[in-house]
Amino acid sequence: MDTIDAIQTRRSIRKFKEKDTAWSDIIPIIEAGQYAPSAGNLQNWKFIIIRDQKTRHKIADACHEQDWLKDAPTHIAIVAEPYKAHEFYGERGESQYTTQSCAAVAQNMMLAAHNGGLGSCWVGAFEEDKIKDILGFPEKVVCHAIIAIGEPAETPQVPSRKAMHLNVYVDAWGNKGYGDYPKGFKSTAWKEAASQLQDHIHSAAERLKKSKK
């Protein structure tokens, strides 16, 4: 699968077929995680592969009762050892670098799952203490994400993305680059966005005026 294709066609999957994930399908996912960039190449992470049904049910409960997680035949907890990054990079290493490295792992894993015909979903909403208890890991390690994996039983619509020109500045915060368009951005799109924004501000101002009368 082409990289850009994989990035654009991966979807969060929350419905799965009742079928165990073969180890041969899990291994490339773990391997893709291992290839994620990490600050100083520290790789200060561990991956816990959860296949046991009872444990998956407990995890679903600890994820604020996201019951759909019970039907995902495999969960992978991405667990970090932040103190290892603290040793080299201090506070920033412990919080920022570790989080960012684990996020790169999560994305790599989901793309690898997609490449192997499996569905996945990143789960970040959970009660850390409960996950710690269920998986039995020590106080000083931190669970960053749980990736649910299995054969997809749904084809979700693509959740819309903001138009590029709404998210991009050129050279400095707030500079939309009017007049000097980067390749790939349609000049009309920039103008449309500006005019839509103007309309929006204008009507908000009108509403405000009316409400004050």
Ligand X SMILES: Cc1cc2nc3c(=O)[nH]c(=O)nc-3n(C[C@H](O)[C@H](O)[C@H](O)COP(=O)(O)O)c2cc1C
The footprint of ligand X (CB under 6 A) covers 11-12, 14, 66, 121-125, 159
**Of 112 and 121, CB closest to ligand X:** 121
CA end-to-end distance (rounded Å), the chain: 60
Q: What share of the chain is helix, strand, coil (3-state, %, to 5)?
A: 50, 15, 35
Could you tell me the smallest distance in angstroms from the CB atom of residue 122 to ligand X? 4
Three-state SS at 123: strand
How far is C-alpha 57 from the geometric centre of its chain's CA atoms?
22
Residues 6+ apart with CB under 8 A from 5: none
Select the residue whose beta carbon is closest to ligand X and give its number.
Answer: 124
Could you tell me the smallest distance in angstroms from the CB atom of residue 35 to ligand X? 19
**Of 4 and 172, CB closest to ligand X:** 4
**Of 138 and 159, CB closest to ligand X:** 159
Could you tell me the smallest distance in angstroms from the CB atom of residue 19 to ligand X? 21
**Amino acid letter for position 130:** K
| Neighbouring-strand partners of residue 76 | 49, 147
**Of 121 and 134, CB closest to ligand X:** 121
| Rounded CA separation 164/49 (Å) | 36
Could you tell me the smallest distance in angstroms from the CB atom of residue 116 to ligand X? 17
H helical segments located in 163-186? 164-167
Q: Tokens at residue 40, please?
A: 């100083």
**Of 40 and 124, CB closest to ligand X:** 124
Could you tell me the smallest distance in angstroms from the CB atom of residue 85 to ligand X? 19
85 near 42, Cβ under 8 Å? Answer: yes
Q: Tokens at residue 181, please?
A: 């368009």
Could you tell me the smallest distance in angstroms from the CB atom of residue 8 to ligand X? 9
**Of 14 and 75, CB closest to ligand X:** 14
